[in-house]
Chain A
Amino acid sequence: DIQMTQSPSTLSASVGDRVTITCRASQSISDWLAWYQQRPGKPPKLLIYDVSTLKSGVPSRFSGSGSATEFTLTISSLQPDDFATYYCQQDNTHWTFGPGTKVEI
């Protein structure tokens, strides 16, 4: 099975900061990598799929990059709505989520 890791597990930041979250896969997943945002008490929302494709309606301050086993999610200028937990997920072989990164104030 493909295992996903994320770093950091928690990130403290301020409004306006540039934030980067890293996701690693235990083996190559080509470009089958998605990112989700989850606010407390809410279901996850898809932000990015296929490494770097923004879902329609997602603000352009979110971007994704990477390949094979290492990927990043970047928020260019953190907004109040962005304080949430972010999960990466591979869909190369079945589906596996990373453990999450909590972005807090």
Chain B
Amino acid sequence: QVDLVESGGGVVQPGRSLRLSCAASGFAFDKYGLHWVRQAPGKGLDWLAAISYNGNNEYYADTVKGRFTISRDNSKSAFYLQMNSLRVEDTAVYYCAKGGVVVAGALDSWGQGTLVTVSS
């Protein structure tokens, strides 16, 4: 079965950086797109970024474009979210998710999430 496990969350000061990781197993990792989605406390889901199966195409929400970078390492079945210039409003649970073949389509499997708290 598909398993996605996030790590790297924690408390960070505004303006600092953090890198989240997602370890994947149970599927042909190098054939699927991958996503990051966040959820602020008590709020809805906020799609952040996606990367194509081979890493050649990246997609970002306007709210994080230029600050966040998604990447993947197919040799390790892992992908990442580099978050720079963090703001208080970036405080949220961050989920990694598996997308469709190549990248298109719905997010059919999700990790349990990792909490990022941006606070001074």
Question: B47–A96 contact, CB under 8 A?
Answer: yes
Of the candidate stretches B7-15, B21-29, B66-74, B103-111, the one touching chain A is B103-111
Contact residues of B between 80 and 97, Cβ < 8 Å to A: 95
A97 part of interface (Cβ distance < 8 Å): yes
Contacting residues, chain B, for A34 (C-beta < 8 A):
106-107
Cβ–Cβ contact A55 & B45, under 8 A = no
Contact of B46 with A by CB under 8 A: yes
In the assembled complex, the CB of B85 is this many whole angstroms from the nearest CB of chain A, namely: 22
How far, in whole Å, are A100 and B45 apart by their CA atoms in the complex?
A: 8
- On whether the beta carbons of A49 and B47 are closer than 8 Å, the reply is no
Which residue of chain B lies nearest to A48 when distances are taken between CB atoms in the complex?
B106
A44-B45, A87-B44, A87-B45 are contacts. A95–B50 as well, Cβ < 8 Å?
Answer: yes
If over half of A's interface residues share one DSSP class (helix, strand or loop), that class is named, otherwise mixed; here it is loop
* Partner pick for B59 among A46, A87, A94, A97, CB 8 A cutoff: A94
Report the Cα distance A100→B62, complex, angstroms: 21
Q: A99 and B44: CB pair below 8 A?
A: yes
In contact, A46 and B61 (Cβ under 8 angstroms): no
Shortest C-beta distance, A96 to chain B (Å), equals 6
Q: How far is the CA of A34 from the CA of B112 in the complex (A)?
A: 20
Contact B46 A43, beta carbon cutoff 8 Å: no
**Is A39 an interface position by the 8 A CB rule?**
no
Nearest Cβ in chain A — how far from B64, in angstroms?
12
Contact A100 B113 (CB under 8 A): no
In the complex the two chains form, is A91's CB within 8 Å of B106's CB?
Answer: yes
Contacts of B62 in A (CB 8 A): 1
In the bound complex, how far is the Cα of B107 from the Cα of A87, in angstroms? 12
In whole angstroms, how far apart are the Cα atoms of A85 and B79 in the complex? 28
- Tell me whether A49 and B105 are in contact (CB under 8 A): yes
Q: 11 new A-B pairs (CB below 8 Å) besides A36-B45, A94-B61?
A: A45-B110, A46-B107, A46-B108, A46-B109, A87-B45, A91-B100, A91-B105, A94-B59, A95-B50, A95-B107, A96-B47
Binding site for A on B (CB under 8 A): 35, 37, 44-47, 50, 59, 61-62, 95, 100, 104-113
